[in-house]
Amino acid sequence: MKAFLLVIVILIAIALYFTWRRGQAGQVTRLEDARAEAQRWYERLGGQVLNLHGDDASARQALADAGERYNAAGGQLQQAQSIRQYELAKETALEGLAYVRAARLAMGIDPGPEVPAPAGAQGVGQLTKEREVDVQGTHYKAGPQPGADTPYYYPGGRVQGRPVPAGWYSQPVWRTALGAAGGALAGMLIFDALFSPGFGDMGYGGGDFGGDMGGGDMGGGDFGDFGGDF
């Protein structure tokens, strides 16, 4: 009886060992897949950054932001040791490619094939009309197209928990909101002014707020799930 129990214990131990080995092998495979995926997007970004040269301010700024993401993604790839870290490197590379596409549009050339939206930009939508406001004595403008007064592109994302749509801005207000003490409050005031119907000249008034937000600009395409996030 004891011999039989010993055999059972040994068989269970062997089964557990091989199950563990399969799990380890699967983890290694997933890690390698994540690394290869991040590397693929990083190299694609590098090819664009190194070969594009913009003439106007909007294109140059977008390419500078793309180059910044390229350098950041490279650093993340060098230090990555987990699937999550490789995923973050991939997200950084995708952000860079969003800036590249914006730069190509500003240069008047084909933006190239679509790329997946960075996770942080999903659901925030994009601007479809120009908006102008004055906040604390400073004039701000945002819109769907690059221009001399809107040279800063933002691929969309959440700043201090608030969705900020993709588009071109007169100033990098998302950096203000993430900056030093007081920046968060200043950034929120700017976002409130730009994206709320009670402030500034946005091309529509408070009376038709429901129509513009719910069915068109903000609910359907301009802001995605803007209303549901805050």
Residue 11 is inside which H or E element, if any?
helix 2-51
**Is 142 inside a domain boundary?**
yes
Cα–Cα dist 80/62, whole Å:
26
Most distant CA pair in the chain, distance: 89
Is residue 214 within 8 A of residue 208, CB to CB? The reply is no
Helix-then-strand count for the chain, H and E:
7, 6
Q: Which of 51, 79, 108 is the last residue of a domain?
A: 108
Q: What is the mean pLDDT of residues 121-147?
A: 89
| Tens-digit pLDDT profile for residues 89-108 | 999 999 999 999 999 999 99
Is 70 found in the same domain as 144?
no
Cα–Cα dist 93/100, whole Å:
10
**Is 57 inside a domain boundary?**
yes
Is 129 found in the same domain as 197?
yes
CA angle 40, 44, 45 (to 5 degrees): 120
Residue 197: its pLDDT value, please? Answer: 56
Q: Which of 57, 76, 108 is the last residue of a domain?
A: 108
Is 58 found in the same domain as 95?
yes
Q: Structural domain of residue 84, as residue ranges?
A: 12-108
**Is 6 inside a domain boundary?**
no
Total-model pTM = 0.72
| Tens-digit pLDDT profile for residues 105-123 | 999 999 988 899 888 888 8
Residue 184: its pLDDT value, please? Answer: 65
Residue 160: its pLDDT value, please? Answer: 76
Is 95 found in the same domain as 49?
yes
Q: What is the mean pLDDT of residues 119-144?
A: 88
CB neighbour burial string for 110-133, b if at least 16 within 10 angstroms, e if fewer: eeeeebebbebbebbbbbbebbbb
In single-letter form, the type of residue at position 165 comes to P
| Tens-digit pLDDT profile for residues 37-51 | 999 999 999 999 999
Cα–Cα dist 145/152, whole Å:
10
Is 94 found in the same domain as 35?
yes
Residue 25: its pLDDT value, please? Answer: 66
**Is 214 inside a domain boundary?**
yes
* Count of the separate structural domains present in the chain: 2
Residue 119: its pLDDT value, please? Answer: 87
Is residue 66 within 8 A of residue 48, CB to CB? The reply is yes
Q: In 107-215, which ranges are continuous DSSP H helix? A: 173-177, 183-195, 209-210
Q: How deeply is 154 buried, as exposed, middle or buried, from its count of CB atoms within 10 A (0-12, 13-18, 19+)? A: buried
Residue 27: its pLDDT value, please? Answer: 72
Q: Give 60 or 16, the one with higher predicted confidence.
A: 60
**Is 146 inside a domain boundary?**
yes
**Is 210 inside a domain boundary?**
yes
